[in-house]
Structure formats: structure tokens, C-alpha cells
Amino acid sequence: MSNYIVNITEIKSLLISFEHIDKSINYDQDFSKVLISRNNQEYETVMNWSKVFLYNKSFTTFSGTTTARAILFPMEKVFEAYVASELIKNCRNMPWDITTQDKGFYLFDEPMKFSLRPDIIVKKTDGTVIVIDTKWKVLVDDERKNYGISQSDMYQMYAYAKKYNSQKVLIIYPNDLEMSKYLEDGIQFKSEGVLFKIVLFELDNVENSVLRIRREI
């Protein structure tokens, strides 16, 4: 028996349990009564899916706590490809060589192990190399928590800077309302003459986001 038939059979058997339950006439009110805790956290994904379908939500806008989109798509790959595509499209008239998923270096030379693959490499005519990497993660406005930036991610960026002899590394994160005050200036870290800069990408204002990245290059 195929999975499809098995699923249909199970769904029909489950529907019997809902025969005496009235349909919701106020989604907001009914969802507000649902409290997800450690005792029922296995229902969280189901509730997110329910909201997607009942509210006719799209899957295009980033949300910090909604996991439904991540079920459908590997969002880190979608975000990476989208940012790279928009940057290349908007920089086609610039005298830059832009490559994605560059495979030019390994973390170790002898033997050549652990390939380094930054999302985007920009090589300028003067030989300057800019490393750009995307991260589909939610940042938080708390310097004491390093803004929610993963320490392992920064180790990765440091390795990129060293191997590509880059003086500037841009790390692109999707913007969130809490972080909007950092849109124009970003967040900077420096080490041994290398600038590591967090740049926020507005998914509802792609043009401005790409211009912001271009200015940094």
C-alpha cells in the first residue's frame, strides 16, 4: 500500500474524533487559547501549519518564530541564492568579478582538507577581495549575547578572511523589526586589520538592501 493511501486512511479515521467539534469562527481568539509548553511542544509545528493554511499566509516574509517555511524549504539555501542573484544582477555594470560558492581554498594545505566555500566572493580590479556570506538566522538586540551571532560562524568568517587575504568580510542576515535600528550602520567587529561587518537584508525592500551591500563593497 502506498504512503498516499495509508495517509488518507489515517486521516479519515482521525476525522471521526472531530465530528462533535464546532468549526472555528474566530481564528485569532481560538489560537490565543493555545499555550505551547514542554508538555505539548510536539504540537507546535502542527499549530504553525494550521495558521499558514487558515490565514492564507505566504511563505515569502521572514518571521523570527514561525517554523512552517523551514518545513517546506531549506531557507538558508533559498536566502543564500536569492541574495547572490540580486547582487549579481544589480552589479553587472560594475568592474567586479563576482563568484558564488568559490572552491579555491582549503582550511589545511597539507593535506588539502576541509574545503572553504564562502557564499560570494567579489574581486575588484585593484586586487581587493571582499568575502560575503549569508546567514538565515534571527539576531537579537543584545550586545551581551553577541547579538545572537554564532561563535562558530565567526570562526568560519575569520578563516575565510585569512585564506582569501581579505580585509573585509560582510555577513548578511535577514532584517528583523528588533534589529532595524542597525540597518544603516550595521554591526562591526575588527581583528588584525580585518573588518567583519553585519549587514541586514530587508526582504520587503530588496533594492535598498542590495544598494547597502554595494556601498560596503
Condensed to tens digits (0 to 9), the pLDDT of residues 1-22 reads: 456 677 778 888 888 888 888 8
pLDDT of residue 91: 92
Q: Which of 191, 202, 197, 193 is nearest to 215 (CA)?
A: 197
Pairwise CA distance, residues 193 & 63, whole Å = 35
pLDDT tier, 64 (very low <50, low <70, confident <90, very high otherwise):
very low
| Per-domain residue ranges of the chain | 3-72, 75-216
What confidence tens digit (pLDDT) does each residue in 109-132 have? 889 899 899 999 999 999 999 999
Would you say the C-alpha torsion 101, 107, 110, 113 has a positive or negative sign? negative
The Cα angle at residue 70 between residues 65 and 72, in degrees rounded to 5: 140
User: What is the reported pTM?
Assistant: 0.69
- As a CATH number, domain 75-216 is 3.40.1350
- For β-strands 194-201 and 168-174, DSSP reports them as parallel
